Structure 1
């Protein structure tokens, strides 16, 4: 058993396959609101992804640009943003093998936590939609606590909620600065996740490209 040991995950592009979820949502939204002609739908989705910049740009600015670029006159950015906030979670999906790994870790006695940089309650709704909440002992969204990764304080807050020391924690994330450097700064071990095998981290303790190999990566930390 691994009592008093914890594994803490990032959400977007770590547990949540945000890119796939976003494309599914946008495919629905562009059809539901009839935003552009059929021949422009793929272009609209691609431009959203470019403007979104992996979630770094808030969606009011994204929609404002898209409305201008595609000359959308029948829906305001406020209407489309409200749809994004309320409907995105309906399309939230995990990376393959995530749920099986979370169940396996819980069975092995690990405490499991989440730290997400993002807005509340938007991120909580996306997380709840994955059906994993029962396995998590701590869930932290940055806006709710007034802290953001890589601030060491948010990692220490997670440790406090889980009742563990940082040295007994492993952090799993996809952002080298926010996740990997932030976690290492408080003494956690780290696993860098990216679905593209060509993208790895030189500073993480382990690299992971498919959750089916998670246990192997975990053993590599010993």
Structure 2
């Protein structure tokens, strides 16, 4: 009997962060410009695909996903009077920050829990709304050996909580008989997982989400597994 755990990444395995906001802020300042952080946050909520899960983009994945995002960046930069000559270097610098594993911090119990779940006969998969190179970052964080596969929104064209991304994950894992979705977001992870028949575990977040289990720490997860 195949048993699989599907894990969210940001806010679940790593501490929650505003990596795109921080990278955009650092990029703008690095090139000598000033934009209010609140303006950048509002822009990213319009520009990043995970804030509009109702929109699918199967034909704009991988490198096309980055090109679409940077096209929006350029309109944003132009609105603040930043000369176009800077755009290629700014985009390269921003992308470098996003792909730098040192900008992400693992929960202290993450590696031990992933190892214990493997030892108990579960396969681990990541299901994440994120940038296409996320697997590379996970590997640089030292977790590559714990995951059997990755399903990342920008590589498939659907964002959680869309059923399509979860269905893709189930197929990638060989349609397991027992599976759990583990995440910190009550909508993207818990509601999305429930809608395709997964058991769900909400972590690092207060209860009341409709999850099957609520765990304050990742270390509590092995005890609830069948």
| TM-score with structure 1 setting the length | 0.71
1:129 is displaced (CA, Å) by 3.4
Residue 185 in structure 1 maps to residue 195 in structure 2: yes
- Selected match of 2:128 from 91, 99, 116: 116
Residue 87 in structure 1 maps to residue 97 in structure 2: yes
Does the CA contact (< 8 Å) of 2:113 and 2:222 recur in 1?
no
Match in the other structure for 2:219: 215
Residue 17 in structure 1 maps to residue 22 in structure 2: no
Does the CA contact (< 8 Å) of 1:89 and 1:129 recur in 2?
no
1:24 is displaced (CA, Å) by 6.0
Match in the other structure for 1:140: 151
Q: Against the structure 1 CA distance between its residues 146 and 21, is the aligned structure 2 distance closer, same or farther, given a 3 Å change threshold? A: closer
Q: Against the structure 1 CA distance between its residues 149 and 31, is the aligned structure 2 distance closer, same or farther, given a 3 Å change threshold? A: closer
Rounded to whole Å, the distance in 2 between the matches of 1:81 and 1:25 is: 10
Q: Report SS of the residue matched to 1:163.
A: coil
- Selected match of 1:96 from 107, 122, 127: 107
Match in the other structure for 2:142: 131
Select the structure with the greater relative contact order (CA < 8 A; seq sep ≥ 6).
Answer: 2
Rounded to whole Å, the distance in 2 between the matches of 1:125 and 1:45 is: 28
> What is the Cα-based RMSD across aligned positions, in Å?
3.4
Match in the other structure for 1:160: 171
Rounded to whole Å, the distance in 2 between the matches of 1:129 and 1:67 is: 35
Residue 176 in structure 1 maps to residue 183 in structure 2: no
Gaps of 5+ in 2: 53-68
Rounded to whole Å, the distance in 2 between the matches of 1:33 and 1:128 is: 30
Match in the other structure for 2:64: none
Deviations 1:141-171, CA, capped at 9 Å, x for gaps: 23333444333343233233323525x1111
Rounded to whole Å, the distance in 1 between the matches of 2:165 and 2:7 is: 13
1:184 is displaced (CA, Å) by 1.0
Gaps of 5+ in 1: 37-42
1:8 is displaced (CA, Å) by 0.7
**Structure 1 segments (4+ residues) deviating >6 Å:** none
| TM-score with structure 2 setting the length | 0.70
1:81 is displaced (CA, Å) by 2.7
1:9 is displaced (CA, Å) by 0.8
Q: Map residues 23-62 of structure 1 onto 2, 5 A cutoff.
A: 25=23, 28-30=26-28, 32-36=30-34, 44-45=36-37, 47-53=39-45, 56=51, 58=69, 60-61=71-72
Provide the aligned length of Structure 1 versus Structure 2.
Answer: 205
